[in-house]
């Protein structure tokens, strides 16, 4: 098999279909930061995935891509350790996605829960929404990624990427590394503060239950104070019976790095929800203060372009070599 290097590779992406949330931080970014030094790390902005659902002004997407890129850096992405790029700047991913599409079954894509949920919300469902997981598989296996840190909602897509890689390897010889998802033990599915039975989603229309990484402190305070809890009058962790309180304990644990059980022990039995919420608020502030300060600084400069140019060049070099191999394996060209 043609392998790029002996160091293991890690890859992840967060799509700019809305502003980054504290859920994305807990499920995606936090893990990436933890692992980035242990692997040859790749992080990218999947801008092509964004148009799988209708978007408004294209200029706003571009602005968001820039905000995302600066925010990743502000969160602690280390450009010295990480290949950081924008998906659409590596054309080979599209070329590979076509080949993979021809090796993916309609039945497999029909079973994707995210497709089912997103397609229900639209009248004219684009084909891209259906084939989205194949493009994601191409993102992953094009670079021989060993591990893919994601939140719980993306696990099924990484598993599909595994199936496709195995199928291709079986048919054409060992072409791809079969990737593994890494799902965090705590914070893999942060819930909406207004409806703690559903995922906090950056593309939701009602933003009152979503904390964005760039929200100011007054806004965050308002959102936490209004977060839905219950009338029991005591704190306890029970995701079914007390989803609101349990979500806040999870947030506290994920952001402070306190093991979940320790956080549960600390807060169980507190009778004043206000006091408990104050503690949660504090760890959110502590997490976001340095990120927002660094974001302010970075967004006044063009540093991010330097990093993205370098990332684009390295990503293309690796991607083109791999694509060439795959293209020949399936019998394209002369």
- To the nearest 10 degrees (0 to 180), the angle between helices 260-267 and 243-256 is 120
| Beta carbon nearer to ligand TYM, 112 or 175 | 112
How far apart, in whole angstroms, are the C-alpha atoms of residue 227 and residue 247? Answer: 10
Residue 14 binds ligand TYM (CB under 6 A): yes
Residue 88 DSSP symbol: G
Residue 64 binds ligand TYM (CB under 6 A): no
How far apart, in whole angstroms, are the C-alpha atoms of residue 6 and residue 316? Answer: 19
DSSP lists the bridge partners of residue 13 as: 44
Interface pick for ligand TYM out of 189, 242, 277, 322 (rule CB under 6 A): 189
- To the nearest 10 degrees (0 to 180), the angle between helices 58-75 and 303-330 is 100
| Beta carbon nearer to ligand TYM, 4 or 303 | 4
Residue 12 binds ligand TYM (CB under 6 A): yes
How far apart, in whole angstroms, are the C-alpha atoms of residue 250 and residue 243? Answer: 10
Residue 246 binds ligand TYM (CB under 6 A): no
Interface pick for ligand TYM out of 10, 27, 77, 284 (rule CB under 6 A): 27
Residue pair 101/162 in contact by the 8 Å Cβ criterion: no
The SS3 of residue 42 is: strand
Has 118 been annotated as catalytic? Answer: yes
Has 199 been annotated as catalytic? Answer: yes
Min dist CB 94 to ligand TYM, Å, is 13
Catalytic residue among 37, 59, 116, 118: 118
Of 132, 99, 10, 90, give the one whose Cα is nearest residue 325: 99
Min dist CB 292 to ligand TYM, Å, is 19
| Beta carbon nearer to ligand TYM, 188 or 288 | 188
How far apart, in whole angstroms, are the C-alpha atoms of residue 212 and residue 206? Answer: 13
How far apart, in whole angstroms, are the C-alpha atoms of residue 143 and residue 10? Answer: 9
| Beta carbon nearer to ligand TYM, 45 or 175 | 45
Interface pick for ligand TYM out of 19, 28, 196, 277 (rule CB under 6 A): 28
Interface pick for ligand TYM out of 15, 104, 246, 250 (rule CB under 6 A): 15
How far apart, in whole angstroms, are the C-alpha atoms of residue 32 and residue 60? Answer: 26
Catalytic residue among 8, 121, 191, 199: 199
| Contact mark string toward ligand TYM, 134..153, x via CB under 6 A | --x--xx-------x-xx-x
Residue pair 154/12 in contact by the 8 Å Cβ criterion: no
Residues in contact with ligand TYM by CB under 6 A are 11-15, 23-24, 26-28, 46, 49, 136, 139-140, 148, 150-151, 153-154, 187-190, 199-200
């Amino acid at each position: 098999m043609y392998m790029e290097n002996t160091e293991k590779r890690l890859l992840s992406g967060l799509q700019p279909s809305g502003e980054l949330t504290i859920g994305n931080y807990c499920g995606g970014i936090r893990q990436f930061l933890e692992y980035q030094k242990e692997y040859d790390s790749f992080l990218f902005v999947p801008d092509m995935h964004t148009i799988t659902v209708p978007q408004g002004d294209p200029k706003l997407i571009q602005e968001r891509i820039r905000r995302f890129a600066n925010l990743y850096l502000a969160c602690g992405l280390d450009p010295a350790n990480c290949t950081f790029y924008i998906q659409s700047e590596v054309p080979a991913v599209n070329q590979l996605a076509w080949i993979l599409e021809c090796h993916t079954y309609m039945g497999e894509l029909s079973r994707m829960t995210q497709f089912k949920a997103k397609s229900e919300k639209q009248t004219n469902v684009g084909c891209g929404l259906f084939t989205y997981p194949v493009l994601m598989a191409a993102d992953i296996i094009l670079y021989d990624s060993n591990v893919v840190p994601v939140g719980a909602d993306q696990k099924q897509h990484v598993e599909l990427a595994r199936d496709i890689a195995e199928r291709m390897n079986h048919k054409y010889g060992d072409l791809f590394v079969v990737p593994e998802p890494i799902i965090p033990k705590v914070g893999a599915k942060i819930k909406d503060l207004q409806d703690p039975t559903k995922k906090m989603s950056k593309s939701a229309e009602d933003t009152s239950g979503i904390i964005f990484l760039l929200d100011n402190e007054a806004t965050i305070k308002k959102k936490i104070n209004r977060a839905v809890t219950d009338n029991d009058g005591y704190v306890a962790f029970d995701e079914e019976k007390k989803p609101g309180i349990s979500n806040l304990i999870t947030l506290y644990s994920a952001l402070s790095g306190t093991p979940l059980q320790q956080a549960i022990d600390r807060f169980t039995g507190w009778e004043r929800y206000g006091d408990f919420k104050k503690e949660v608020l504090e760890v959110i502030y502590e997490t976001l203060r340095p990120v927002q300060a660094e974001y302010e600084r970075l967004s006044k400069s063009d540093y991010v372009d330097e990093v993205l140019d370098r990332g684009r060049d390295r990503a293309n070099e690796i991607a083109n070599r791999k694509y060439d191999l795959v293209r020949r394996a399936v019998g394209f060209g002369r």
